[in-house]
Chains A and B, each alone.
Chain A
Amino acid sequence: MTKPQHILLLGIGNVLWADEGFGVRVIEHLQKNYRFPEQVQVMDGGTQGVYLVEHVQAANVLVVFDAVDYGLSEGTLKCIENEEVPKFLGAKKMSLHQTGFQEVLAMADMLGQYPEHLLLIGVQPVELDDYGGSLRPQVKAQIQSAIDIALKYLADFGVSAEVVSVYNAITDPVLDIQRYEQERPTATEACRIGDERILQSEAFEVRPLVSPEELRLKVDIDYRGKY
Chain B
Amino acid sequence: MTVRNTPNGFHLNDAGRRIIVDPVTRIEGHMRCEVNIDEDNIIRNAISSGTMWRGLEVILKGRDPRDAWAFVQRICGVCTGTHALTSVRAVEDALKIKIPENANSIRNLMQLSLQVQDHLVHFYHLHALDWVNPVNALKADPNATSLLQQSISPHNPKSSPGYFRDTQNRLQKFVESGQLGPFKNGYWTNPAYLLPPEADLMAVTHYLEALDFQKDIMKIRTIFGGKDPHPNWLVGGVPCAINIDGVGATGAINMERLNLVSSIIDRTITFIDQVYIPDLLAIAKFYKGWMYGGGISGQSLLSYGDIPDDANDYSASNLLMPRGAIINGDLTKVHEVDLRDPEQIKEFVPHSWYKYPDESKGLHPWDGITEPHYSLGPNAKGTRTHIEELDEAAKYSWIKAPRWRGHAMEVGPLARYVIGYAQGNKEITEQINFVLKTLDVPVTALFSTLGRTAARGLEAQWAAGKMRYFMDKLITNIKAGDLATANVTKWDPETWPESVKGVGFTEAPRGALAHWLKIENTKIANYQCVVPTTWNGSPRDEQGNIGAFEAALMNTKVERPEEPVEILRTLHSFDPCLACSTHIMGPDGAELTQVKVR
Q: Which A residues contact B (CB, under 8 angstroms)?
A: 14-17, 20, 43-54, 86, 93, 95-97, 99-100, 103, 106-107, 109-112, 128, 131-132, 170, 172, 174-175, 183-185, 189-200, 204, 224-225, 227
What's the minimum C-beta distance from B105 to chain A, rounded to whole angstroms? 18
CB pair A227 B239 closer than 8 Å = yes
CA distance A51 to B353 in the complex (A): 33
B331 at the interface (CB under 8 A from A): no
Would you list which residues of chain B between 135 and 181 have a CB under 8 Å from chain A?
170, 174, 179, 181
Nearest 8 CB-CB pairings of A with B: A194-B53, A106-B181, A47-B77, A132-B59, A190-B58, A54-B215, A96-B25, A174-B67
Q: Which of B6-14, B261-269, B384-392 contacts A (4 or more CB under 8 A)?
A: B384-392
CA distance A93 to B239 in the complex (A): 39
Contact with B181, one of A100, A103, A193, A195 (Cβ below 8 angstroms): A103
CA distance A35 to B74 in the complex (A): 26
CA distance A23 to B526 in the complex (A): 30
Interface of B is mostly: loop
CB pair B230 A44 closer than 8 Å = yes
What's the minimum C-beta distance from B510 to chain A, rounded to whole angstroms? 15
Query: Within 8 Å CB of A172, what residues of B?
Result: 70, 230, 232
What's the minimum C-beta distance from B159 to chain A, rounded to whole angstroms? 20
Contact with B62, one of A44, A48, A110, A183 (Cβ below 8 angstroms): A183
Mark contacts of B377-388 with chain A using CB atoms, 8 A cut-off: 1 yes-contact digit, 0 otherwise: 000000011110
Interface of A is mostly: loop
CB pair B596 A99 closer than 8 Å = yes
Query: Within 8 Å CB of A17, what residues of B?
Result: 26-27
Query: Within 8 Å CB of B36, what residues of A?
Result: none
CA distance A103 to B129 in the complex (A): 14
* Smallest Cβ-Cβ distance to B59: which chain A residue: A132
Q: Which of B206-214, B293-301, B497-505 contacts A (4 or more CB under 8 A)?
A: B206-214
Query: Within 8 Å CB of B170, what residues of A?
Result: 110, 112
CB pair A194 B70 closer than 8 Å = no
* Smallest Cβ-Cβ distance to A104: which chain B residue: B182
CA distance A95 to B57 in the complex (A): 22
Contact with B53, one of A53, A106, A110, A191 (Cβ below 8 angstroms): A191
B side interface size, CB within 8 A: 61
What's the minimum C-beta distance from A28 to chain B, rounded to whole angstroms? 12
Mark contacts of B353-384 with chain A using CB atoms, 8 A cut-off: 1 yes-contact digit, 0 otherwise: 10000000000000000011010000000001
CA distance A86 to B211 in the complex (A): 19
Would you list which residues of chain B between 39 and 91 have a CB under 8 Å from chain A?
51-53, 55-56, 58-64, 67, 70-71, 74-78, 80
* Smallest Cβ-Cβ distance to A105: which chain B residue: B181
Using A45-B229, A172-B232 as known contacts, say yes or no to A195 and B58 having CB atoms under 8 A apart.
Answer: no
Contact with A175, one of B55, B71, B77 (Cβ below 8 angstroms): B71
* Smallest Cβ-Cβ distance to A43: which chain B residue: B229
CB pair B76 A16 closer than 8 Å = no
CB pair A106 B179 closer than 8 Å = yes
**Inter-chain pairs besides A16-B74, A51-B218, 11 sampled, C-beta below 8 Å:** A16-B59, A44-B229, A49-B77, A50-B121, A96-B26, A100-B77, A110-B211, A112-B170, A131-B59, A185-B59, A200-B385
Query: Within 8 Å CB of B579, what residues of A?
Result: 96, 99-100
CB pair A110 B174 closer than 8 Å = yes
Query: Within 8 Å CB of B24, what residues of A?
Result: 93
Query: Within 8 Å CB of A193, what residues of B?
Result: 53
What's the minimum C-beta distance from A132 to chain B, rounded to whole angstroms? 3
B562 at the interface (CB under 8 A from A): no
CB pair B77 A195 closer than 8 Å = no
CA distance A92 to B575 in the complex (A): 26
CA distance A51 to B213 in the complex (A): 11
CA distance A165 to B384 in the complex (A): 50
B119 at the interface (CB under 8 A from A): no
CB pair A50 B229 closer than 8 Å = no
B290 at the interface (CB under 8 A from A): no
What's the minimum C-beta distance from B231 to chain A, rounded to whole angstroms? 10
What's the minimum C-beta distance from B350 to chain A, rounded to whole angstroms? 18
What's the minimum C-beta distance from A175 to chain B, rounded to whole angstroms? 5
Contact with B70, one of A96, A175, A199 (Cβ below 8 angstroms): A175
CA distance A86 to B234 in the complex (A): 38
Query: Within 8 Å CB of B60, what residues of A?
Result: 185
Q: B59, B67, B239, B398 — which one has the most chain A CB atoms within 10 A of its CB? A: B59
Using A52-B229, A53-B215, A195-B51 as known contacts, say yes or no to A109 and B181 having CB atoms under 8 A apart.
Answer: yes
